[in-house]
Amino acid sequence: MSAAWIPALGLAPIAITCFTRGLDIRKEKADVLCPGGCPLEEFSVYGNIVYASVSSICGAAVHRGVISNSGGPVRVYSLPGRENYSSVDANGIQSQMLSRWSASFTVTKGKSSTQEATGQAVSTAHPPTGKRLKKTPEKKTGNKDCKADIAFLIDGSFNIGQRRFNLQKNFVGKVALMLGIGTEGPHVGLVQASEHPKIEFYLKNFTSAKDVLFAIKEVGFRGGNSNTGKALKHTAQKFFTVDAGVRKGIPKVVVVFIDGWPSDDIEEAGIVAREFGVNVFIVSVAKPIPEELGMVQDVTFVDKAVCRNNGFFSYHMPNWFGTTKYVKPLVQKLCTHEQMMCSKTCYNSVNIAFLIDGSSSVGDSNFRLMLEFVSNIAKTFEISDIGAKIAAVQFTYDQRTEFSFTDYSTKENVLAVIRNIRYMSGGTATGDAISFTVRNVFGPIRESPNKNFLVIVTDGQSYDDVQGPAAAAHDAAK
């Protein structure tokens, strides 16, 4: 580890930087001096009262109210690690949740000192030179050309063993480092597959490569069967949530590491992941030997579990030794966004309402052509309970909701209903129809995460004002 340990001499408080962490101090008790003017939004703090040792000491002190942002003396007490660190908003800092960490600390008011909080401190993991501080904000943004929310699903079963488990963690760390993790770049989390899956840390827990590397290093070997399918399903359903740090419009990716073979059904888990808009990559290592093939439920499990069976989403390494050469090719795949076909995209994350002109000027034959046009558009979308949703309203001077977003959740049912819409005939009041649709069709699904679109299919000029209702509809969609 590159961080230089800070001695605690029991003398004058030691000046530290805004970014010095609890793990940079090895003593059970130490007096430190925090500088003033630290940017609150750049503090990394995990927990409340008791903080994970990866947290900023000064950030924790401000969070607990021991000091203000003008700095001051702080006493640091080392504590054992915990299973859970809570997320609390206090004193302008939103601490983050962390599922587990190996060491903790807490802070109280420190001894006063004539020493000024200048920020000139002993060497830590964040050297306080002017040159380094100028570069830090830029580095924290990460690789903007590789925006992805990635879960590494590692094998923690007895099948892999402790030694290969450590080699696996080392490889994952190299991949995470090359990805260019940052606030505006890729975010990563880690799940361990064993007898029972365990989310080691979430996307939102760490936004810098260095902190991710520390977190990966701290993960312990769990053992048990390699229930990869169970872990993949758990990851798709529980890991990729807004509360856990998933970002809207960013590809969701799970990289599954399998040493040998899974102990359970992975095909079904792959289907669930695809339904949740997750791109599944399989990194297989050391294929089963002939004597072990009888234990494999399905020798083609890789092809059935990946996002698409086109070769892009599967990756094989012969063993865990000499894996450095495999890092860059895997990273290039994870950063190729146009290939992420299972992500939530325009095709499966929209609500589309078709406003269909049923006026007398259209005529029955043209009305049927309009329905065919609407059907052809609907066919291209992945319609499901968790995917795209379609609704239709027919209008003349009156309006009739043919079906709403919640009526049908399969493409087959939606297309069948569109084909059977009955022609109304009458005048043309497009403005009233827009207002009706916004209120009665989009109103009930206001909290939906999908993007909303209103497609108007009409043959001519309306008898009422269209500009006002259209502007109101646009404002309602913001």
Q: What is the pLDDT of residues 74-100, one digit of tens each?
A: 999 999 888 888 888 889 898 888 877
The reply to whether 132 falls in a domain is yes
pLDDT of residue 81: 87
Residues 80 and 167 in one domain: no
Coil vs helix vs strand at 441: helix
Cα separation, 353 vs 436, in Å, equals 12
pLDDT of residue 12: 77
Rounded to an integer, the average pLDDT of 191-198 is 93
Q: Tell me the per-residue pLDDT of 379-396, one tens digit each, with 9 for 90 and over.
A: 988 787 767 899 999 999
Please, which pLDDT band fits residue 347 given cuts at 50, 70 and 90?
low
Q: Tell me the per-residue pLDDT of 99-158, one tens digit each, with 9 for 90 and over.
A: 778 889 999 988 764 433 343 443 344 433 333 333 333 357 888 889 899 999 999 988
430-437 vs 467-476: helix crossing angle, rounded to 10: 20
Does residue 440 have a pLDDT over 50?
A: yes
Q: How many domains does the chain have?
A: 3
Cα separation, 195 vs 375, in Å, equals 47
Task: Quote the DSSP letter at residue 353.
Answer: E
Residues 61 and 207 in one domain: no
Cα separation, 33 vs 51, in Å, equals 18
Enumerate residues 6+ apart whose C-beta is below 8 A from 241.
none
Q: Tell me the per-residue pLDDT of 5-30, one tens digit each, with 9 for 90 and over.
A: 444 444 678 888 888 888 888 788 99
The reply to whether 2 falls in a domain is no
Residues 333 and 357 in one domain: no
pLDDT of residue 1: 35
Does residue 299 have a pLDDT over 80?
A: no
Q: Tell me the per-residue pLDDT of 442-466, one tens digit each, with 9 for 90 and over.
A: 999 887 778 899 999 998 888 999 9
Coil vs helix vs strand at 157: coil
Contact (CB, 8 A) for 154 and 169: yes
The reply to whether 4 falls in a domain is no
pLDDT of residue 344: 62
The overall average pLDDT reported for the chain is 85
Residues 181 and 118 in one domain: no
Last residue of a domain, one of 339, 361, 393: 339
Contact (CB, 8 A) for 193 and 160: no
The reply to whether 5 falls in a domain is no
Enumerate residues 6+ apart whose C-beta is below 8 A from 310.
none
Give the CA distances from residue 305 to residues 160, 232, 274, 313, 368, in Å, rounded to whole numbers and listed in that order.
20, 10, 9, 9, 41
Does residue 256 have a pLDDT over 70?
A: yes
Residues 320 and 392 in one domain: no
Cα separation, 10 vs 238, in Å, equals 46
